[in-house]
Structure 1
Amino acid sequence: MTRVRTVRTPEGSRLEVSNVLSVPATDAWEAIVDTTLWPEWSPVVLGVEATDRRIRTGTTGRVRLPGVWVPFRITSCADRRWTWRVTEIPAAGHRVDDLGDDRCRIAFELPLHQAGYAPISLRSLENLEAILEDGKPAVR
């Protein structure tokens, strides 16, 4: 079940794009904090160089987007939720909610000024679902 709604986060109002998956929350969390997997599920991240393979608060690096490398910094990473700044601009938060019975919700929290990124977030969620539930490679 995919949904898009406005939510209140520690960073203020955000547009939340989420999907419920039939996988344990721990599996989903590992997929979104492992920088080597980002290009597998994100349709715009083509490469990653990071100080840590598994992100934590303070991890820095750069991501390759179509045509350009841009710097990032993880600003928080706790309780199955992480946030970051890309080129020093607040970017999407990422969260995994444990729903029990090997089900979870993956949510991307978009700053309202980045609402146009919602279709990319939806594709990312579809890719994560294919990887985690079906074991299939991501579709770009």
Structure 2
Amino acid sequence: MTRGSDAARTRTGIERTPDGRRLVVARVVDAPASAAWDVLTDTRTWTEWGPSVSAVRGPDRIGPGATGEVRITGVGAWVPFEVTEYDEGAMRWTWAVARVPATGHRVDVLGDRRCRVAFEVPLLAAAYAPVCRRALRAIARLAERRA
């Protein structure tokens, strides 16, 4: 179970990432990094934690160069996605949605049973931060259940 308040566990700030300066929305999760990474890379869970994703067509698990389609919640349109960077060792992946560079996803190890899950949001898409905060709460629940 998640302990502590959302405000204490979730932080938003600008960081330098491999893709340049990004707004990073991150949350501490009481689960091993491997459990959080599993949630982020398993496309079957995306509809459980991604408020903007209502369905996914593609591989069950993403990897380098993975492609597929996501259905946008509320719109119903299917849009293509492509994993543009994938580093399992660093536990980080990025994607483009409809050929537009989108969020980066990463997991930072904090210990054996704690990690930090982060979304790297392009600065021009900063308004997406509340959606990321909501997603992080769901990811925490899913990862903690898997732990």
Q: TM-score, normalised by structure 2?
A: 0.88
Identity of matched residues, % = 48
- Residue deviations 1:45-99 (CA, integer Å, cap 9, x gap): 100011x211111100100012211110000110200000001100000000011
Amino acid at match of 1:43: P
SS in 1 for 2:110: strand
Correspondence 1:37 to 2:45? yes
* Letter aligned with residue 73 of structure 1: E
**Do structure 1's residue 115 and structure 2's residue 115 form an aligned pair?**
no
Mean Cα deviation higher: 103-112 or 62-71: 62-71
- The two structures, once aligned, show a CA RMSD in angstroms of 1.1
Name 1:73's counterpart in structure 2. 82
Specify the alignment match of 1:21 in structure 2.
Answer: 29
- Number of corresponding residues: 134
Take 2:62 and 2:139, find their aligned partners in 1: how far apart are those partners? 18
Deviations 1:101-137 (A, max 9, x none): 30000000000011010000000001112222257xx
Aligned with 2:71 (options 64, 69, 73): 64
Q: TM-score, normalised by structure 1?
A: 0.92
2:105 to 83, 94, 104: 94
Aligned counterpart for 2:57 among listed residues 49, 59, 63: 49
Q: Which amino acid aligns with 2:51?
A: P
